[in-house]
Structure 1
Amino acid sequence: MPHSATRSTFERIVINQFTPLHCAQAREMLGWDREQLSEQSGVSVTAIERFEAQAPVRDVTRLALAYSLEAQGLVFFPGFSPGRGGNVRGTTPDPLGREDFALIE
């Protein structure tokens, strides 16, 4: 497990890089609907809809979405569509197992 300061840095990077547009584009790339993303991330369909509509969601919710998509090998950079990374498995392999899972919307 990474040091908490390091983990916090990873989380800040994800929060600043992962956008609502990334979420919708990533779902499309994977052929997932919101229900499938909800099952993989533990985030409610309603929260996914809100996030993709650019409404505010909790940081932990955004992280769960990003990590579940990263676990599928996707990478996210500001200003670019999601890409596939051959060596990327996300910083949280199982978003449902996170300590802060109960806070996800």
Structure 2
Amino acid sequence: MASLAMNHVLERVALFQFTPTHCVQARAMLGWSVEQLSREAQVPVEDIQRFEAQQEVADAARLALAYRFEALGLVFFPGFRPGRSVKVQGMTAESVEHRNFAMAE
């Protein structure tokens, strides 16, 4: 089990790697609207719209978006379009919920 410090480092990495452009590109790859992403990631539509417009949103909202896409097998690296990873064992949509994040809002 990862320590709290390791979780914090992993969250910082996810925040650095997942950009507003990635969010738009990932939605396009999946054919999702902002409304569908909102339902899937449990993040308000307004937060997604602000993030995609490169405005400030809470780190917890950004993590929820990144983790929802990652649960579907997408990976993100700065400067590159989202890619598809190999299937992650044990990850389900139900295991990636907003309330499971260690970061306080």
TM category (shorter chain) comes to: 0.7 to 0.9
Contact 2:17 2:77 in 1 (8 A): yes
| Runs of 4+, deviation exceeding 6 Å | none
* Percent of aligned pairs with the same amino acid: 51
TM-superposed deviation, 1:102: 8.3
- Give me the TM-score of the superposition, normalised by structure 1: 0.86
Q: Deviations over 1:10-58 (max 9, x none)?
A: 1000011100000000000011101111011110001100000000001
The two structures, once aligned, show a CA RMSD in angstroms of: 2.2
- CA distance in 2: counterparts of 1:74 and 1:14, whole angstroms: 12
Contact 1:68 1:93 in 2 (8 A): no
Q: Where do 5+ consecutive residues of structure 2 fail to align?
A: none
- Give me the TM-score of the superposition, normalised by structure 2: 0.86
- CA distance in 2: counterparts of 1:54 and 1:8, whole angstroms: 23
